[in-house]
Amino acid sequence: MRIKSKSDFPDSSDGSVHEELSDETLVAQVARGDSSALEALYNRYSSTVLGISVRISGDQLIAEEVLQETFWRVWRHAVTYQPQLGSFTAWLFRIARNLVVDLHRKQNSRLQTIRYDGRDALDIDQTPDPNADVPEQVQSSFKQQKVRMALATLPEEQRQVIEMAYFFGMTRQEIAEATGEALGTIHTRARLGLQKLRRELEKQDFEE
Amino acid sequence: MDNLIEELLPFYALGALTDEERELVEDYLGEHPEVRAQIKEMEFAASALPYSAPPVKPSDRLKKTLMERIAADQRARSSVPVKDSLPRPAKPQNRFMGILQFSFGALSLVVAVMAIALLYGLNRQVSQLQGEVAALKSALVAQANRVEQLNQAFDEVNANLPQATPSALTVFAINGTEVQPDAHGQLMTDPNSHSAVLVVAGLPPLQAGMTYQIWLIEGDTPKSAGLLNVDDYGQGVSILTPDQAFSSFDALGISIEPEEGSLLPTGDIVMLGQFN
């Protein structure tokens, strides 16, 4: 697949000129009130944000609400983003993840220890998005492959603890209770799991 | 490193600590910045996790709604009145007049800016108040509807209690248990009759698939007296028509049950009232 270069964009009025700008440049433009920069970030990451939200909540409506609220917060709080503290995607995904975990917790006073089996529970539209940022979609696809491969190398019990904490927002005590393991075991699994995941991601040249 | 902090770090990176635990870690990081390197390594791994979720294409409608909201926000921001450029002051005739004119000009500018800020503030307050008035009107309409529903329920119970004289009507307090201490209500009945009206408040709406169920208790034996629906304000009214006279029961309880109801109470008892 050919990735567009700057010369492919003779006119910036359609917003596609943003495709070659870095996330950090775009978020700086958003901070100055440029809504087309926000639209570019939306085109770039909305599928991933909705994917996380669907994965965590298992509810299309909640996930869509989270998607809109996440980018609304980017719009309103872009000025608070500090590149030196981490990548834009880390910031963006953290906003989405925290929103969906909070919403999910409010709706389910006791989180279910649902295990993800790799299948999509919802009817998900997989047709290509004509508005999507194509180069970023390709990059995202590579990243997904790398992360899935790295996760697959983790022992099942370590992967389980990491996924319960991240995707279901479960505290270490809740994980210990749900798995019937001692709290100390859960601590060890989380630590070893994250260490191994980092090593595997580095091996595959994963970049945030 | 503190053992507890070491245990908390992976969960800090995964965003899965309680508020208290997170504050503990952040305080520690403030005092021990060298630990940030460890956190960064863990956060690097955690930040990759979103990519393990299959991406889902959002509908065009979502983007349209978001961009419309943003456009409205932009319009609201740009509607802040901007002061036109001030007329250039005449050349001062002397130093004193110059200072005087400059001071006067500066004072005028300050007054103008304050007036604009005040006007803008007032505009915002007016908009806010209009919104509050609309919300209050809506709440009033809802309450009026509720009153109408209650009146209808009382009319119905009156029709069901033709033999009851006002003096025979007894009111029993039904109180929230420790599960739902804010709940309160009353059961109005002629104890010798087979009809009563139960009015409750302070019961939160339940999640889908669950309902409140009313029990009339004789000794240790509860008998279902029907399901109880509550509205968004936590209020509910139910007309009870048991087979036996109310005087044969000792108490009334309300429990949380699956939506189809249960043969015997299985969930928490949220309200209870003794008849003696």
* Separation in Å, CA of B214 to nearest CA in chain A: 24
Amino acid A120 reads D
Angle at B38 between CA B35 and CA B44, to 5 degrees: 140
Look up residue B270 and give its two tokens.
């949220």
User: Is A119 among the domain residues?
Assistant: no
Residue A193 maps to a domain: yes
DSSP, collapsed to helix, strand or coil, labels residue A2 as: coil
Using a CB–CB cut-off of 8 Å, the residues of B that contact A are 7-11, 13-18, 21, 41-60, 62-63, 65-67, 69-71, 73-74, 77, 207
Over its length of 276 residues, how does chain B's per-residue pLDDT go in tens digits? 678 899 999 999 998 998 899 999 999 988 988 888 888 889 999 999 999 988 899 999 999 999 999 999 888 877 655 444 444 444 444 555 556 566 666 777 777 777 777 777 777 777 778 777 777 776 777 777 677 767 776 666 666 654 544 446 788 899 999 888 888 988 888 888 888 888 888 898 888 888 999 999 998 899 999 999 888 778 888 888 888 888 899 999 999 999 888 888 998 899 999 987
Residue A127 has, within 13 A of its CA and on its CB side, a CA count of 5
A36 touches chain B (CB under 8 A): no
Residue in B16, B56, B58 closest to A169 by CB: B16
DSSP annotation of A153 reads T
Residue A48 lies in a domain: yes
The predicted complex's ipTM stands at 0.77
Burial of residue B205, with CB atoms counted within 10 A of its CB: 0-12 exposed, 13-18 middle, 19 or more buried: middle
Question: Cβ separation of B48 and A140 shorter than 8 Å?
Answer: no
- Residues A106 and A142 placed together within one structural domain of the fold: no
pLDDT in tens, A60-102: 888 999 999 999 999 999 999 988 878 898 899 999 998 988 8
Average pLDDT, chain A: 80
- The answer, for A146 touching chain B at a CB cutoff of 8 Å, is yes
Q: How confident is the model at residue A175 (pLDDT cuts 50, 70, 90)?
A: very high
Give residue A94's domain range: 16-110
Q: How far is B83 from chain A (nearest CA, A)?
A: 21
Question: Looking at chain B, how many residues does it have?
Answer: 276
Question: A94–B15: do the CB atoms touch at under 8 Å?
Answer: yes
B65 to chain A: closest CA residue: A68
- Asked, for residue A98, whether it belongs to a domain, the answer is yes
Report CB contact under 8 Å: A171, B16. yes
SS3 at position B55: coil
| Closest Cα in chain A to B8 | A187
**Over residues A141-162, mean pLDDT:** 91
Indicate if A25 and A101 belong to the same structural domain. Answer: yes
Q: Which residue is it, tokens 């996440």? A: A70
- What's the pLDDT at B169? 75
Give the per-residue pLDDT at A134: 59
Angle at B249 between CA B244 and CA B250, to 5 degrees: 180
The two tokens of residue B124 are 């915002």
pLDDT at position A1: 33
Q: What is the CATH number of the domain that holds A153?
A: 1.10.10.10
Q: Would you call B44 and A38 a contact, using CB atoms and an 8 Å cutoff?
A: no
Q: With b meaning 16 or more CB within 10 Å and e meaning fewer, what string describes B110-147?
A: eeeeeeeeeeeeeeeeeeeeeeeeeeeeeeeeeeeeee
Q: What per-residue confidence (pLDDT) applies to B90? A: 43
A168 against B138, higher pLDDT = A168
The structural domains of chain B, with segments of one domain joined by +, span 3-52, 113-160, 166-274
Of A64, A140, A194, nearest to B10 by CB-CB distance is A194
Is A123 a member of any domain? no
CB contact under 8 A, B51 and A143: yes
**Domain termination residue (choose one: A77, A110, A143):** A110
Q: Looking at the domain assignment, is residue A49 inside a domain?
A: yes
Q: Which tokens go with B51?
A: 């990519």
Nearest residue to B67 via CA among A48, A53, A72: A72
Query: Residue A24 sits in a domain of what CATH number?
Result: 1.10.1740.10
Q: State the Cα–Cα distance between residues A148 and B52, nearest whole angstrom.
A: 6
Cross-strand bridge partners of residue B222: B217
Chain A residue with the nearest C-alpha to that of B40: A86
Put simply, the answer to whether A47 touches B57 (Cβ < 8 Å) is yes
How many residues are there in chain A? 208
pLDDT digits (tens, 9 = 90+) for A91-141: 999 999 989 888 877 766 444 434 334 333 334 444 445 555 556 667 777
Return the CATH fold of B166-274: Immunoglobulin-like (2.60.40)
Q: A121 lies in a domain?
A: no
Q: How far apart are CA B229 and CA B225, in angstroms?
A: 13
- Taking the C-alpha atoms of residue B193 and residue B213, their distance in angstroms, rounded to an integer, is 21
A156, A160, A161, A166 alpha-carbon torsion, rounded to 10°: 140
Chain A residue at shortest CA distance from B44: A198
Determine the distance in angstroms separating the CA of B98 from the nearest CA of chain A, rounded to an integer. 39
A16-40 average pLDDT score: 88
Rg (CA), chain B: 33
- Do A75 and A155 fall into the same domain? no
What tokens were used for A166?
A: 């991240």
Q: Decide if A147 touches B, using CB distance below 8 A.
A: yes
Higher per-residue confidence, A7 vs A70: A70
- Residue A88 · residue B47 · CB < 8 Å: no
Cβ-defined contact of A190 to B14 (cutoff 8 Å):
yes
* Residue A126 within any structural domain of the chain: no
Q: How many domains does chain A fold into?
A: 2
Contact A198 B58 (CB under 8 A): no
Specify the pLDDT at position A3: 34
Q: What SS3 state is found at B73? A: helix
